[in-house]
Amino acid sequence: MSETIRVGTRGSVLALRQTEIVVTALRRRFPGSEFRAVPIVTQGDRTKRRSRDLDFTDAIDRALEAGEVDIAVHSTKDLPVRPMRQVRVAAFLPRGDPRDCLVLREASGLRDLPPGARIGSSSPRRRAQLLRARNDLAVVEIRGNVDTRLSQVRSGAVDGAILAAAGLSRIGRWAEVTEFLDRRAFLPAPGQGALAVETRASDRALASQVAALDHSPTRAAVGAERAFVEGVGGNCDTPLGALARLSRGELVLRAELLSPEGRRSVRGERRGAAASAAAVGRALARDLLAAGGAEILARRPRG
């Protein structure tokens, strides 16, 4: 690397911080290179409405395809399972904390919330998991960046909110966490906590350099999780969770599918070689669909 590398990113505080993490790692390996963040507004940033068409990567990847930026930084959980043909993920950085956490205004934890407490989340997965644990709570939709969501808790607009632990850690707001949610009961979104760095598929030289950052255990884990999502035909409206890890050289993937209100769920586990991560994810998808997941998905609301 020698010329200035333009880095496509969303413009939120968290996105810019994540870009800084990637750029710092690149500078360590390529100290003579210059980098410039290029904030880009995505479809997901422009709308307050959640739908399966919502996309936080589209505009950035189009800019990458068009040569307006040279690399792109994304939260892996935002990446579509079928990316644009002309871009590729050159590196996954070592994964941060994949857990969800609660930020509460007054209560000391999930068990202490009074019936009817209003918990903010725009995620169908988090809604279903929360109602499964406490069906006497009210889950209300809130959108916006991390600061916006935290401000809604502080102002009393909601009694609490569910957020990704990794995001709070990266922007120095770790102290605001009230409770970390048990990942066994609250399986996170596929890819949660991991950062992905994309390049153009045609730019092999740059892709090769960025690949120096790739963390193979994270690539295997998120590869299995994303293959599971694709295998069940999931999208951002599908209440599902998945988390993979390497244990003594073996890839262990756990996943679940839930009904929108959390009344029904199916979950399972598959193990296999890290080199066969995608096959592990597809196999678990077949398992859960056959175990009742297909029926759960067939009954989900459309539109």
For residues 71 and 123, state if they share a domain: no
Assess contact for 14 and 146: CB atoms under 8 A: yes
Phi, psi of 102 (to 5 degrees): -105, 135
210-266 tens-digit pLDDT: 999 999 999 999 999 999 999 999 988 899 999 999 999 999 999 999 999 999 999
Helices (H), the chain: 13-29, 43-46, 58-65, 124-133, 146-155, 165-170, 204-210, 216-232, 277-288, 294-298
| 58 is a catalytic site residue | no
Does residue 16 fall inside a structural domain?
yes
Using CA atoms, how far residue 259 sits from 132, 143, 256, 300, in Å, is 10, 22, 10, 7
166, 290: one domain: no
Q: Which of 124, 156, 180 is a domain's end point? A: 180
Residue with tokens 């994810």, as numbered in its chain: 281
Look up the CATH number of the domain holding residue 27: 3.40.190.10
Of 78, 97, 203, 237, which residue is the catalytic one? 78
Residue 106 lies in a domain: yes
- In terms of domains, do 171 and 237 share one? no
Q: Which domain holds residue 175?
A: 100-180
Query: Do 83 and 198 fall within a single domain?
Result: yes
pLDDT tens figures, 256-298: 999 999 999 999 999 999 999 999 999 999 999 999 999 999 9
Query: What pLDDT does 145 receive?
Result: 87
**Per the domain annotation, does 250 fall within a domain?**
yes
The verdict on residue 185 lying in a domain is no
Q: In the block, which residue shows the tokens 């401000």?
A: 151
Residues 13 and 87 grouped into a single domain: yes
pLDDT in tens, 39-86: 999 877 666 555 444 578 999 999 999 999 999 999 999 999 887 789
User: What pTM was estimated for this model as a whole?
Assistant: 0.94
Please tell me whether residues 10 and 156 are part of one structural domain: no
Do 120 and 156 fall into the same domain? yes
289 falls within a domain: yes
Question: How far is 168 from 100, CA to CA, in rounded Å?
Answer: 10
Q: How many domains does the chain have?
A: 3
Q: Are residues 43 and 9 in the same domain?
A: yes
If asked whether residues 15 and 84 sit together in one domain, one would say yes
Give domain status of residue 202, yes or no.
yes
pLDDT tens readout for residues 168-216: 999 999 999 999 999 999 999 999 999 999 999 999 999 999 999 999 9
CA 253 – CA 269 distance, rounded (Å):
6
Residues 84 and 202 in one domain: yes
Please measure the distance between the N-terminal and C-terminal CA atoms of the chain and give it in whole angstroms: 46
CA angle 124, 181, 138 (to 5 degrees): 45
In a domain, 220, yes or no: no
Q: For residue 219, is it within any domain?
A: no
Report the alpha-carbon distance of residue 30 to residue 209 in Å, rounded: 9
Give me the pLDDT at residue 48, please. Answer: 54
d(CA 21, CA 14): 11
